[in-house]
Amino acid sequence: MYSDQEAAALYDVLNPWGPSDDFYLALVMEATSVLDVGRGTGAILHRARQVGHAGRLCGVDPDRASLGVARRRADVEWVAGTAASMAWDSEFDLAIMTGHAFQVLVGDDELRASLTAIRRALAAGGRFVFETRNPLAREWESWNPGNAMDVVDPSGRPVRISYEVEALVGDVVTFTETTSDPDGAPLRVDRATLRFIAFDELARFLAGAGFDIEAQYGGWLREPLDPASLEIITVARI
Ligand SMILES: C[S@@+](CC[C@H](N)C(=O)[O-])C[C@H]1O[C@@H](n2cnc3c(N)ncnc32)[C@H](O)[C@@H]1O
């Protein structure tokens, strides 16, 4: 067995600080009030406070085990909930969704409701910045047991992590993440569903929620977006 708390603690081992975090941290440091939606274990807001952000930092996530890790810093506001459930009105000048959290918004209704709540939370001129994997790059094709990773979790226990796609229906990929002992004996299996929204459809959803697209990039150094880009990084403004 591998508990929700152990899995949440393992998240930061599997997702160490990288160029995407530098990209978002720079935006966070320029903003006075920041809403981080689908914040997970809290890494970017932790780092922002640590390096001197003096304004409002608020992280939202429905997963209590992840919030448990995030709450080790008490000088950031942590809220349990989904994007669509948020009720803030004109309070933040920046909202972010990092680590492909945007892709957990799978259904059209949930996506619309989430974008509406994010827009409502932003003050006039506020920006929403997020990324989604480019469906044209078909990244899910590399999510197979042949690419399993051996890592050591924060308690010092060696574990193996592997992914397997179960279904691709339209733009929605359902896959499993299996945590096992190094010899392959399974400890837990998590099933997840992600939407790989197309570029033009994303633009329609953003416009429908009242966002203008200010910029889009294909990489974390603000490379131009092209059909082969792995990421669609979007800066949207109200
Ligand atoms: C892939 S993780 C990304 C976590 C973090 N943003 C990062 O950069 O590492 C996706 C996160 O979205 C959260 N999530 C799932 N459904 C959500 C929803 N409806 N609204 C907001 N967050 C959600 C999950 O609990 C999870 O922490």
Per-residue pLDDT of the chain (238 residues; tens, 9 = 90+): 899 999 999 999 999 999 999 999 999 999 999 999 999 999 999 999 999 999 999 999 999 999 999 999 999 999 999 999 999 999 999 999 999 999 999 999 999 999 999 999 999 999 999 999 999 999 999 999 999 999 999 999 999 999 999 999 999 999 999 999 999 899 999 999 999 999 999 999 999 999 999 999 999 999 999 999 999 999 999 9
Residues 46-57: pLDDT tens digits?
999 999 999 999
CA of 117 to the centre of ligand 1 (A): 15
* Residues facing 231 on adjacent strands: 133
Residue 37 has a pLDDT of 98
CA-nearest residue for atom 22, ligand 1, is 38
Nearest CA to ligand 1 atom 18: 82
| CA 40 to centroid of ligand 1, rounded, Å | 5
Q: What is the pLDDT of residues 218-230, one digit of tens each?
A: 999 999 999 999 9
User: Ligand 1 centre from 38 Cα, in Å?
Assistant: 3
Distance CA(97)–CA(122), nearest Å, equals 14
Query: Looking up tokens 């919030």, which residue turns up?
Result: 67
Cβ proximity of 147 and 162 under 8 Å: yes
> Which ligand 1 atom minimizes the distance to the CA of 38?
22
Measured CA to CA, the distance from residue 222 to residue 20 in angstroms comes to 11
Q: Is the CB of 176 under 6 A from ligand 1?
A: no
- Placement of tokens 């109200």 in the chain: 238
Q: From its phi and psi, is residue 81 left (phi > 0), alpha (psi between -120 and 50) or beta?
A: left
Q: How far apart are CA 175 and CA 186, in angstroms?
A: 16
Instruction: Report phi then psi at 173, rounded to 5.
Output: -110, 125
